[in-house]
Structure formats: structure tokens, C-alpha cells
Amino acid sequence: MSSSFRAYRQEHILKFDSGQKIARHGPACLVMAAFSGNFNQDFDITWGDGRAKILSAGKVLTLSLDKTSGSGFRSKKQYLFGKIDMQIKLVPGNSAGTVTAYYFSSVGSNHDEIDFEFLGNLSGDPYILHTNVFTQGKGDREQQFYLWFDPTKDFHTYSILWNPQSIIFSVDGTPIRQFKNLESKGIAYPKNQPMWIFSSLWDADDWATRGGLVKTDWTQAPFTASYTNFNALACTTASDSCTKNSSANSWFSQSLDSTGEERIKWVQKNYMIYNYCTDSKRFPQGLPNECSIA
């Protein structure tokens, strides 16, 4: 993610928070299930001057981008740990220069963040799926992938499992990345700051496609991404009640089994195109500590 992207997103996050009291220490944990959630009930459209729309009685949400503005939305609630699914159909055709961002984030200079970001492409070229994890304001943990399908033809499920043990990114049920809790090794882990769910569609042609070499073709506008079937099993604040052993919150202690580990290896062998843990030029003083810990 470029520094301009970070600044842009934090600007919008801070705008969303303006005039609101953040529930960092709210009531006891509430376990919520929003199976095939209703966007009217679960999210607020936060910017875009009408370019974001909730359709089909709350079952579908669309974001659009034109030369004047993009658009975005934010969850009504903050979550502290959860298993979150969202089905997304990305901008079709020539989407070069556009970014569809779907992420968790708290606010402030020491914010935590968990990112899915989809970097647009020229027609016929693959999207790049960009992932990142921020802890206490520190990111620089990017991994990037091509997808093994066309993400513009139909809806696909992008999932984040975030519990005290690890963060697992999955696509259509296939895990692609895991960020483990290695606090015992001195590595910070996001566990204390509730996060909102955000999504936005906006123009980033200064860097998004081939490092900014390919610009947005505004004759193709408006660009549109679609969302459906939001599902949340999550807690709003930390509490022992989150750890109760039940089918509703088994996600709280869920981890990858041997099959999941093998699937991550398969994805990373065949579809990973960038891994910060192998970029020694970027980290001349040595790779981040978590890269050397199994």
C-alpha cells in the first residue's frame, strides 16, 4: 500500500469518527450472527454523494467511482475478534487505476488494521489481491496474490478470521495467509482495539496499476463493485463470554488444521507474487522478526 493510500484512508476513517464517541470499552461481549446480513441494518454509507447504493431490500450494496469521486461504507458496530465473510464482485473490464478496499481498522496513529485490497487491471489482466496487517500503527507486512478465477464475473467470498491465536485470510473458504499471535516472541498483535469494517472504491492511478504507469480510463466510468451476503460471528468488546465453548463462537479458538496449512502452501506456491518476508532489499537491516519464526 502506498503512503498516499494510507493517508487517504486514514483521512476518511477520521471523518467517519468525527463527532462520534468510540466504544473502546463498551458493554460486555455480545456475540452477533448476521447470516446473509442486511446492509441497511449492518452498515452506513459514509461518503460518495449518492454513488453508493443499498438495493434489493438491503441484500445488495454497490459502490461506484467516476472522475469526481469514489464512495465507501462502514459497519455500524465495532468488532473485537470475529469471523467475517463478505461476498464481493469486483469492477469488470478495464479497471486500471482503481482500488477496491475491504478492511478492518481502528483509528488513531497507533491503529490496528487488517486489509484486503484489490488493485485494478487492464482488460484481460489479472487483479492483484493485496493483504496487510497493522499493529499499533505499524504495517509494512504486505503479501500479494493473483486469484485463480475471474473476480469480476461473479460474487466470491472474502473472509477474515481474527481471534486471539491468529488472523487468517481466506478466499472462497481457501486460506491464503496466516498472521500468528507471536507476542511471546516480542511481536505486537492486534487484540485490544475494536475495529470497524470499511470498504471503499476510489481512484489510485498514481500507483495502483503497474506502479502508476497505467492510468484510469475515465471513458469506462462509472466503475462499480458489488457486495452481498455479509455474515458476522463476532464480539463487540473483550469478555470471557466470548470464550464459551459453543457452536456459535467456536471461531474464537479456531486454527488451521493440516489441510488448511497445505492449502496455504498451495496458494503461496502458485499464486503469491510478493511477500515482505522475502524482500531483503526492502529490509537491509534484516527481515522483520516474525519472518524467521515458524
**Which residues belong to the active site?**
113, 117
Phi, psi of 284 (to 5 degrees): -65, -20
User: What CA–CA distance (Å, rounded) separates 113 from 195?
Assistant: 8
126, 43 Cβ separation under 8 angstroms: no
6, 100 Cβ separation under 8 angstroms: no
**Phi/psi class of residue 243: alpha, beta or left (left: φ > 0; alpha: ψ in -120 to 50)?**
alpha
Q: Which of 281, 276, 261, 93 is nearest to 177 (CA)?
A: 261
65, 53 Cβ separation under 8 angstroms: no
Place of cell 481471534: 163
Residues 6 or more apart whose Cβ sits within 8 Å of residue 125: none
User: What CA–CA distance (Å, rounded) separates 199 from 249?
Assistant: 25
Q: What's the 3-state SS for 227-244? A: EEEEEEEEECCCCHHHHC
Phi, psi of 275 (to 5 degrees): -140, 115
Residues 6 or more apart whose Cβ sits within 8 Å of residue 286: none
The sign of the CA dihedral 273, 276, 278, 283 is positive
Q: Which of 198, 194, 267 is nearest to 237 (CA)?
A: 194
